Amino acid sequence: TLSYKETDLFKVLQSVDIASIDDRNTTHLCDQLLALREDLYGENFRNFIQQITGCPPLDSRVDCSCNVYAHGGHLLCHDDVISSRCISFIIYLASPDDEWKVEDGGALEFYSVSGEDNLPYAEPTKTILPRWNSMVFFQVQPGKSFHAVQEVFASCKPRVSISGWYHVSRSQQG
């Protein structure tokens, strides 16, 4: 089930953390989600993420939820720096039959920062449309990893994704 969440930072429908889904009490419909969870949370994939990003060793703790941004949904600019977060990821599940277009909104936006005060510029420097079956990940860095989800303009085309964070191993924390 999804819960509607709205603050001054975001407007989204979000599931519980996927880690909390009890696989003993699920229906056949959850089988693929549980298989994806096992892969995302597994040591092999964490090692792969560590290898290609050059990040420190990752903990077995992974935060992950399903998110639906309907018409008007958005996530304002922020850097994801909370606790031991190290790598942010998003898996896009937009409909393969209705390719996402710029005019639909909902793009992932990345922001450069000014050299003087490390605040993000007002305009994004890179945007990524939510394409079916694609994955985006980036390193969480204080004062550097600023990003946002552009408002969804499409009225009948929700931006659907699974997103979360990999955490630095406890032995790597200062």
Confidence band, pLDDT 50/70/90 cuts, at residue 103: very high
Look up residue 38 and give its DSSP letter.
H
State yes or no: pLDDT of 67 exceeds 90: yes
Q: Bigger pLDDT: 112 or 17? A: 112
Of 29-38, 64-73, 88-97, where does mean pLDDT reach its minimum? 29-38
State yes or no: pLDDT of 32 exceeds 90: no
pLDDT of residue 8: 82
Buried b (16+ CB within 10 A) or exposed e, 137-152: bbbbeeeebbbbbbbb
State yes or no: pLDDT of 174 exceeds 60: no
pTM for the structure as a whole:
0.88
Q: How far apart are CA 49 and CA 79, in angstroms?
A: 19
Q: 137-150: per-residue pLDDT in tens? A: 999 998 899 999 99
Contact 148, 77 (CB under 8 A): yes
Of 14-28, 99-113, 119-133, where does mean pLDDT reach its minimum? 14-28
Q: Bigger pLDDT: 114 or 105? A: 105
State yes or no: pLDDT of 7 exceeds 60: yes
Which phi and psi (to 5°) does residue 48 adopt?
-60, -50
